[in-house]
Amino acid sequence: MYPLTNSKSQLSRRRQGEQLAAGARRSVLPEVGWLGLVIATEGYYRTGALEEGLTKRFARGTGPILLCAFVVDLIPFWPQGIGGEDWLRWLILSAELVVGLLLVVYGRGNATDKPE
């Protein structure tokens, strides 16, 4: 009554399930990496708060993150084309770039600049 082999629809559903699982793994890995970055940055800030160097540590930690956010937000421009009609998008991109660069420059400082 029932065939011993799987039907084509069952095989295709199984393949679709495997593809969805692989896609879910690919989408979870960056999120886990981001969570690790947030945990490490929070520990870095806590150490700075204990040593009274929180502002420099905040700039050193947040500046590169904002620059990475700028790069990630810039990626959709290549496939979609760069247009001038979406001014809010340009405002966000420019704010990420300018604030990220300012924080990186402020956070660099001299190695001899130690809080007393």
Q: Please, which pLDDT band fits residue 38 given cuts at 50, 70 and 90?
A: confident
Listed by start position, the domains of the chain span 11-108
Which of 35, 94, 32 is CA-nearest to residue 69? 94
The answer to whether 88 touches 40, Cβ cutoff 8 Å, is no
pLDDT digits (tens, 9 = 90+) for 77-89: 777 777 667 778 8
Global pTM? 0.63
Residue 5 CB: number of other CB atoms within 10 A? 8
Give the C-alpha separation, 108 to 61, whole Å: 11
Contacts 24+ apart (CB under 8 A), 67-71: 67/96, 67/97, 67/100, 67/101, 67/104, 69/96, 69/100, 70/96, 70/97, 70/100
Average of per-residue pLDDT values in the chain: 78
